[in-house]
Amino acid sequence: MPLPQRRWYRIVDVANRWNMTPADIEDYALDEMLQLSVFVVDIPVEPNGWELGYDNVRSPQGMLFVNGPQPLQRASLLEIFRVGQADVRSFRTDRPNQCIHLKSGAPAVIVRRVDLILTRDERDRFERAHALTIEPTKTAPSDVWHSEDFS
């Protein structure tokens, strides 16, 4: 059975795939042509609103924790590229001028240059948008062989 596809890649892996330097990828990200992310686990965030529930009790609406790849804002990326790391307190969303904020009182997420990743969806989107042709990866040799002769 083949291994499952990865959901994200480190910048150096994508740079090798695209035959460019990691600095080229960083430049594309600063120009907002490419979205870099960081992988997080159970980071508490502010709810994105409140809703009335049973007995008119207000409860938070939306996510209370984020997990997995989270897109970084341009200002965070700039600090990471200049200083080597950034204290991140918010992540980008799909909607313009909106972001997901860390819960009040929660420590900032320290993101270093080596923590930056590119999701598979973002990698594939960029490749399609810029008509990058990538050689299919070679399959690993197998110890299994097939014979038409079953006698």
The contacts of residue 83 (CB under 8 Å, 6+ apart) are none
Exposed / middle / buried, residue 134 (Cβ in 10 Å: 0-12, 13-18, 19+) = exposed
Query: Would you state the pLDDT for residue 139?
Result: 39
- pLDDT higher at 133 or 49: 133
- Do 69 and 6 form a contact (C-beta atoms < 8 A)? no
Which residue, 6, 11, 7, 9, is CA-closest to 30? Answer: 11
pLDDT tens per residue, range 51-84: 545 555 544 556 688 899 999 999 999 999 999 9
pTM: 0.78
